Amino acid sequence: MRSSIIRQRRQVLDTYSVSTRRNITTSSSRTPRPLPGLCHACSKAYSQTQTPSSPQRRFQSFHASAQTSPNTNTPPTTPRIPQTHYEFFPKTLSAGPPPNGPFHIDVRELRREFLQLQAVAHPDRHSHHNKIRAEATSARINEAYKTLQSPLLRAQYLLSLRGVNVADDETAKVADPDLLMEVLEAREEIEGAGSEEDLVELKRVNEERIERSEEVLERAFREDDLGKAGDEAVRLRYWVNIRESLHAWEEGKPVVLAH
């Protein structure tokens, strides 16, 4: 009887031992559940299987999304193309063309701004992709500066903006006998000069004519008198031609004074 009881107890112990080994093997093969971690930024618990995103990653992803998905409510801004020569030089010519702004221009300030613009727009400062556009912009800046720095070209340009063409109109002449007489006398004096010293007085007188003509143009454009401005632009063209002939004078060289 005693031996039978001992055998039963051994069977129970053997069965318990096998069951325990099975439980241990099964539990060890499972992935242990990680302990919750603690975020140092917000002091909230998070699973260690989930790594908190770093601020740098969040910034990079936002920057990328901003580039790939721009705000459709805000239209892309493009630089405004200047409509007149004056708009190329907002510092020097902030008031714009006459009659809002003056006809007179500070040429030294204009040149300073011109050099600054060319330093930025020069084609060599741009990539090959933007070089053609830079060349076109540089050419327009050159044209605007060349036109505005000359009172004659400036007056002709301002009149052309208002539909008055005196630059290429061969019929645009001043029906003033005194003016024509002055022009003919200047031509004869230049042709008869034996040296540059003989032309010093004529140069002085002609420069005074140019100054008076520019003053007339200043008033005419300020008063928006296009008729008077057109007549004076033609007159100024005579004086400028005389100046050019005086500067290009050579003994024995014929004088050609275009109107």
Reported as a single tens digit per residue, the pLDDT across 199-216 is 999 999 999 999 999 999
Q: Alpha carbon 218 to chain centroid distance?
A: 30
**pLDDT of 17 strictly over 70:** no
- Any idea what DSSP says for residue 72? T
Task: Please report, in angstroms and rounded to a whole number, the separation of the first and last CA atoms in the chain.
Answer: 149
- Report if pTM > 0.85: no
- Max Cα separation, the chain? 162
**Can you say whether the dihedral through the CA atoms of 29, 30, 33, 34 is positive or negative?**
positive
Within 8 A by CB and 6+ apart from 216, the residues are 228, 232
pLDDT confidence band for 135 (50 / 70 / 90): confident
Buried b (16+ CB within 10 A) or exposed e, 35-72: eeeeeeeeeeeeeeeeeeeeeeeeeeeeeeeeeeeeee
Interval 149-170: pLDDT, tens: 999 999 999 999 999 998 876 5
